[in-house]
Amino acid sequence: MLRLENLSCGYGPVVAVEDVSFDLPERSSLALLGPNGAGKTSTIMAIMGHTTIHGGRILFNDQDITRLPPVKRVDLGIALVPEGRRLFTDLTVEENLTVGGYRLSVQRDKINRQRVYDLFPRLSDRRKQTAGSMSGGEQQMLAMGRALMTEPKLLLIDELSLGLMPKMVDLCFDALAALKQDGVTILLVEQNTTRALDFAENVCVMTSGSLAFSGTSKQAKADENLFDVFISAAHE
Amino acid sequence: MYYVDLFLNGLIFGSMYALMAIGLTLVYGLLRILHISHAAVYALGAFITVIVANATGSIALGMLVAVVVSAIFGMGVYRVLYQPMLRYPPYVAMIASIGLLIFMEDAFRIIFGEQGLTFTRNPYPTQIHNLFGITINTVQIAMIVLSTICLVALALFTTRTRMGIAWRATVSNPTIATSFGVDAIKVRYLNFMIGSALAALAGGLIALLNNFVEPTMGFVVSYKALAIIVLGGLGSMRGTLIAALALGLVESFGTIWVGSYLDRDALAFLFLIIVLMVRPQGLTGAHA
Ligand SMILES: Nc1ncnc2c1ncn2[C@@H]1O[C@H](COP(=O)(O)OP(=O)(O)OP(=O)(O)O)[C@@H](O)[C@H]1O
Ligand SMILES: [Mg+2]
């Protein structure tokens, strides 16, 4: 479904990601791991269309989307749960979901909205509350709900569990598991390595802008060197 | 009834300031540019109203043409002036904007003459009505009715329609809004279109009230509108509305109480300075 071929990208002349390739088949899930500043967010933002591309290609269902504007990528079925959630803080919960369903018909909006409220009943209780006034966990639910409003085929999630209480983390991962069950392809960036490896079948590990490991979660769990990658990068 | 009249008069002027300043707030909220030449759009609206009204005999038609042409002009200002400057820090666009205001003022002077223009037939400012003991003229009634309609419509648009909500989302976070399929460029044009249309309407109504337009009419208003958006907390629509009405009231009462020492326009800035000393975050508090 998604394929990165030797992708290099960054911000203006700055290069943040260099020569990264991976393949994400339909209905599969991939955990993208790595220490701070490794380029995980940049990779995700490149897939959504928010970075400067320096080389390589991004293919979505065999279509070259490397230079497609973000607006068009939404229509293809790519949705983003950005790092730090980045909600429209002075808009209400309902209004945030409205923006999520912006490209779809009013009927689809209604159906999807109900689905989001079923998945996260907490949001349903807070429809009229502004997004900025909610707790971190509720905000993460809303960020996921907003992305689900687009009816995504590929969901990009950057730091699902960051700053959340353990109970909230469980809740968010449960929701993610349900989506996976429904056939959504998932690319997950996550600090909580154990949770990520338990969730996703495949893993890529990035360090300072390039891929350091790529394989199945089973292989990753067995590979003792992998944890050294994190540790040595942290001491660099 | 004297104080009621003053109060009403203050609200009427305040509502015109609001129509004028909302465009500035919209542009600032979206692009972080101080759109000084917005005052030129206001003056353009006033001139077109007079010219078309005098040519066709219909003031309503004059206002309509003024609103439409100014809306297009406002979008043109974005396209020609601001869009190429977005890569640079916001003060670059602001300086260009000041340049455009001065240029437009001189253009008005060259084209329409130093003395300004009057309506050939405008009975409305002198049609005085007595409503429940309040004295009010026809233009003032039109000001109240039209500004209320516009502001309510704007409020409904931004909270009840998908496009309006997407617009606010873009102001809140442009990059993420595009990730959900909102076309940020369209939003910018919409922004300039609505803001400029409202300013032109205010310009036309003020022209009617004074039965006079002059090339410099945008200048003082531009300062006042800046004062208003600062008082309103920069970027907040609700704050802008409150600040505009407050300024109208301060001017209205101020001219009576201290008018012999201070001119009406100086009062506005005295008010601005005092408020900012007491509440540096503006009248309505911190804007997130
Ligand atoms: N907007 C930006 N402009 C310039 N450089 C940036 C920008 N965002 C990130 N970078 C740089 O790109 C590199 C990769 O950053 P990125 O945010 O992709 O890492 P990350 O793996 O997501 O890290 P973290 O775990 O801290 O979120 C870093 O060196 C960072 O400084
Ligand atoms: Mg990151």
CA of A176 from ligand 2 middle (Å) equals: 19
How many angstroms is it from A130 CA to the middle of ligand 1?
Answer: 29
A70: tokens are 């973000």
With CA atoms as reference, the chain A residue closest to B236 would be A90
Asked if A145 contacts A100 with a C-beta cutoff of 8 angstroms, the reply is yes
Structure ipTM = 0.90
B236-255 pLDDT per residue, tens: 888 999 999 999 999 999 88
Contacts of residue B131, defined as CB under 8 A and 6 or more positions apart, other chains included, come to: none
Reference B50, options B197, B198, B215, B193; nearest CA is: B215
Provide the shortest C-alpha distance from residue A178 to chain B (in Å): 22
Beta bridge pairs of residue A53: A9
Nearest C-alpha neighbor of A119 from the set A175, A185, A41: A175
Distance in Å, alpha carbon of B179 to nearest chain A alpha carbon: 5
Q: Do A74 and B179 touch (CB under 8 A)?
A: yes
Averaged pLDDT for residues B75-85: 96
Q: Please report the pLDDT score of residue A73 as a whole number.
A: 95
- The verdict on a CB contact (< 8 Å) between A70 and B169 is no
More confident residue, A228 or B204: B204
Give A55's strand partners: A8
Shortest CA distance to B166 belongs to which of A91, A9, A50, A27? A91
Q: Which residue of A has its CA nearest to B173?
A: A88
Please report the pLDDT score of residue B288 as a whole number: 36
In the predicted model, residues of chain A with pLDDT beneath 70 are 227-236
Comparing CA positions, the residue from B229, B228, B224 lying closest to residue B33 is B229
* A2-77+152-234 CATH fold: Rossmann fold (3.40.50)
CB A102 within 8 A of CB B182: yes
- All residues of chain A having their beta carbon less than 8 Å from the beta carbon of residue B181 are 71, 74-75, 102-103, 150
Convert chain A into a string of H (helix), E (strand) and C (coil).
Answer: CEEEEEEEEEECCEEEEEEEEEEECCCCEEEEECCCCCCHHHHHHHHHCCCEEEEEEEEECCEECCCCCHHHHHHHCEEEECCCCCCCCCCEHHHHHHHHCCCCCHHHHHHHHHHHHHHCHHHHHCCCCEHHHCCHHHHHHHHHHHHHCCCCCEEEEECCCCCCCHHHHHHHHHHHHHHHHCCCEEEEECCCHHHHHHHCCEEEEEECCEEEEEEEHHHHHHCCHHHHHHHHHHCC
Long-range contacts of B125-133 (CB under 8 A, 24+ apart): B125/B208, B125/B209, B125/B210, B125/B211, B133/B1, B133/B4
Cβ distance A18 to A55 under 8 Å?
Answer: no
pLDDT of residue B276: 82
Q: Is the CB of A36 under 6 A from ligand 1?
A: yes
Chain B hits for A88, Cβ within 8 Å:
168-169, 172-173, 176-177
What's the average model confidence in pLDDT over B156-185?
94
- Type of residue found at B52: V
* C-beta atoms of B180 and A91 within 8 A: no
Residue B150: half-sphere exposure toward Cβ, Cα within 13 Å: 24
Higher pLDDT, B272 or B191: B191
**Which residue lies with its CA nearest to atom 13 of ligand 1?**
A16
Mutate which of B158, B175, B180, B284 to disrupt the A interface (most A C-beta within 10 Å)?
Answer: B180
Would you say residue B287 has pLDDT above 50? Answer: no
Alpha carbons B247 and B223: distance in angstroms, whole number: 12
Whole-number Å distance, alpha carbon A48 to ligand 1 midpoint, is 15
Of ligand 1's atoms, which has the minimum distance to the CA of residue A191?
25
Residue A229: predicted pLDDT? 67
Q: What is the pLDDT of residue B258?
A: 79
Where in chain A do CATH 3.40.50.300 domains reside? 2-77+152-234
Whole-number Å distance between alpha carbons of A122 and A125: 5
